[in-house]
Amino acid sequence: MGYTAHFRVWRGDANGGGLVDYEVEVNPGEVVLDVIHRIQAEQAGDLAVRWNCKAGKCGSCSMEINGYPRLACMTRMSIYRQDEIINVTPMRTFPVIKDLVTDVSFNFEKLLSIPAFAPPPGLQPGEYRMQQEDVERSQEFRKCIECFLCQDVCHVIRDHEENKKQFAGPRMFIRLAELDMHPLDVADREIAAQEDFGLGFCNITKCCTEVCPEGIKITDNAIIPMKERVVDRKYDPLPFWRRRRRVEERATPQ
């Protein structure tokens, strides 16, 4: 049976704002986004919310519901008690544009900085051959719907604006891992992960994995293996020594 829920929705913009109370009808089977839409249609036509597919496939309706980063379209109302006050706020890691909509351009800038897929030179379309078990590792990361909830929850940049320059965040680490594990990618991604994208900042608290609506094992399958390979490359004595030799040779005037 339907009931009346008590929502508190953050309303405001870059200049400030606060929580506004709404009493709103809830029907069986509904998700939080349905309730937000009802508020919009019946009580606050200008309530800003980003959404698109309403089926957990596009990653647009990311927000924080009772403080937890979630897709509003995949959050069933039945997980909350009927007398519970439901707080809905915008993602905290990104600047607010209006109400529940944030400026996520940080993520698109980082995506632009990751060097593209680099196939072996001369390999023609139609000639690509890869085994299923080899593509599966990267396919897990390509399930990413770019909802940026992992970026939102990551404590390296949540409340630490100053780290955003050096740290790309979990979404970018799985992109790097995906390319690194692509059977036909020939570019070197590992040292860059550490030096250009701040992999070392991550101290594997797994918050990103926990909020991922696609269930991607971001920490275990992408970040930790990348960290291990970086360590191999940078600190394993033999390659370390070879690299040092090369650097010294280059530095020595001929």
Partner 1 sequence: MGQPTITRHSSDVLIIGAGGAGLRAAIAAREAGKTVTIVCKSLFGKAHTVMAEGGMAAAMGNVNPHDNWQVHFRDTMRGGKFMSHPRMAELHAKESPMRVWELETYGALFDRTPEGKISQRNFGGHEYPRLAHVGDRTGLELIRTLQQKVTSLQQDDKKATGDAESGIKVFAETTMIRLLMRDGRVGGAFGYQRATGDFFSFTAAAVIIATGGLGKTFKVTSNSWESTGDGLALALRAGATAINMEFVQFHPTGMMWPPSVRGVLVTESVRGDGGVLRNSEGKRFMFNYVPEVFRDQYATTEEEGDRWYTDPDNNKRPPELLPRDEVARAINAEVKAGRGSPHGGVFLDIGSRRSEEFIRRRLPSMYHQFKQLADVDITKEPMEVGPTGHYAMGGLEVDPDTQATNIPGMFCAGEASGGLHGSNRLGGNSLSDLAVFGKRAGDAAVAFVDEHGHQTPKFSDDELQAYAHEALEPFRHAGESGYENAYDIHRALQEMMFSLVGIIRTEDEMREALAELDKLDERAKKLKAEGPIAFNPGWHLCFDVENMLLLGRCIANAALLRQESRGGHTRNDFPTMDPEWRRTLLECSLDGGTVKVARIPGPKVAPELMALFDRHELEKYFTTEEIDEAEAANRAGGATAATGEGA
Q: Please work out the total of residues on this chain that contact partner 1, with binding judged by CB under 8 A.
A: 61
Helices (H), 25-84: 32-42
Residue 20 binding partner 1, by CB under 8 A:
no
10, 92, 95, 135: which one binds partner 1 (CB under 8 A) = 135
Tell the residue number behind the tokens 């940078």, with chain if given: 234
| Residue 50 or 227 with smaller CB distance to partner 1 | 50
Cβ of residue 150: shortest distance to partner 1, in angstroms? 16
Cβ of residue 66: shortest distance to partner 1, in angstroms? 18
Q: Per CB under 8 A, which of residues 206..235 are in contact with partner 1? A: 215
Q: Per CB under 8 A, which of residues 49..88 are in contact with partner 1? A: 49-60, 74, 76
What is the full DSSP assignment across 40-56? Answer: HHHT-TT-----S-SSS
Cβ of residue 73: shortest distance to partner 1, in angstroms? 9
Residue pair 150/171 in contact by the 8 Å Cβ criterion: yes
> For residue 110, what are its two tokens?
């980082």
> For residue 81, what are its two tokens?
């008690």
3, 68, 108, 240: which one binds partner 1 (CB under 8 A) = 108
CA–CA separation, 103 and 20 (whole Å): 21
Cβ of residue 217: shortest distance to partner 1, in angstroms? 14
Beta-strand pair 85-89/3-13: parallel
Residue pair 191/230 in contact by the 8 Å Cβ criterion: yes
Across the strands, what pairs with 3? 26
Residue 46 binding partner 1, by CB under 8 A:
yes
| Residue 139 or 205 with smaller CB distance to partner 1 | 139
Residue 47 binding partner 1, by CB under 8 A:
yes
Contacts of 121 by beta carbon, 8 Å cutoff, 6+ apart: none
Binding mask 182-201 for partner 1 (x = CB under 8 A): x--x----------------
Residue 97 binding partner 1, by CB under 8 A:
yes
> For residue 63, what are its two tokens?
């927000």
Helix, strand, or coil (residue 13): strand
CA–CA separation, 81 and 27 (whole Å): 14
| Residue 90 or 202 with smaller CB distance to partner 1 | 90
Which residues of the chain form contacts with partner 1 (CB under 8 A)?
13, 27-31, 34, 40-41, 44-60, 74, 76, 97-99, 101, 103-104, 108, 111-112, 115-117, 119, 123, 125-126, 128-132, 135, 138-139, 142-146, 179, 182, 185, 215
